[in-house]
Amino acid sequence: MIQKSYKNLGRFLLIFSIIASLIVIYISFSNGSFIENLEKSNFFRTLIFSITCILIILGGISMKNKYPEYYKYQVISGVILLATTIIFDIIPRLIYLT
């Protein structure tokens, strides 16, 4: 039985996460200052999104044996999204709003 390759789907996921990160960065710097946008945003949503990214990373790691070509893309995509959230939302919120 031939196993289907999910490499193209993994590449699409990686490109999607990069584009989504760029959109998040653009939104955080548009419509006023960066600090005002932090004050307007909800920390609970950021926390839920961070937990979701961690679950995406853990899910990718657990798929290592079953889909050896795909899991790398899922882990990298989760890391990109989590890093964007930490760098542009959590760390500035801790520095400026506390």
Record the pTM.
Answer: 0.87
- At 6-45, the pLDDT tens digits run 888 999 999 999 999 999 899 888 877 888 878 888 889 9
* pLDDT cut 70: percent of the chain above it: 95
Overall average pLDDT of the 45-72 stretch: 92
Q: What is d(CA 25, CA 32) in angstroms, rounded to the nearest whole number? A: 13
1 domain residue, yes or no: no
Structural domain that includes position 67: 7-96
Q: For residue 29, is it within any domain?
A: yes
Asked if the structure places residue 2 within a domain, the reply is no
- Asked if the structure places residue 39 within a domain, the reply is yes
| CA gap 77, 21 in Å, rounded | 10
Please, which pLDDT band fits residue 53 given cuts at 50, 70 and 90?
Answer: very high
**What is residue 63's three-state secondary structure?**
coil
Task: Please state the domain count of the chain.
Answer: 1
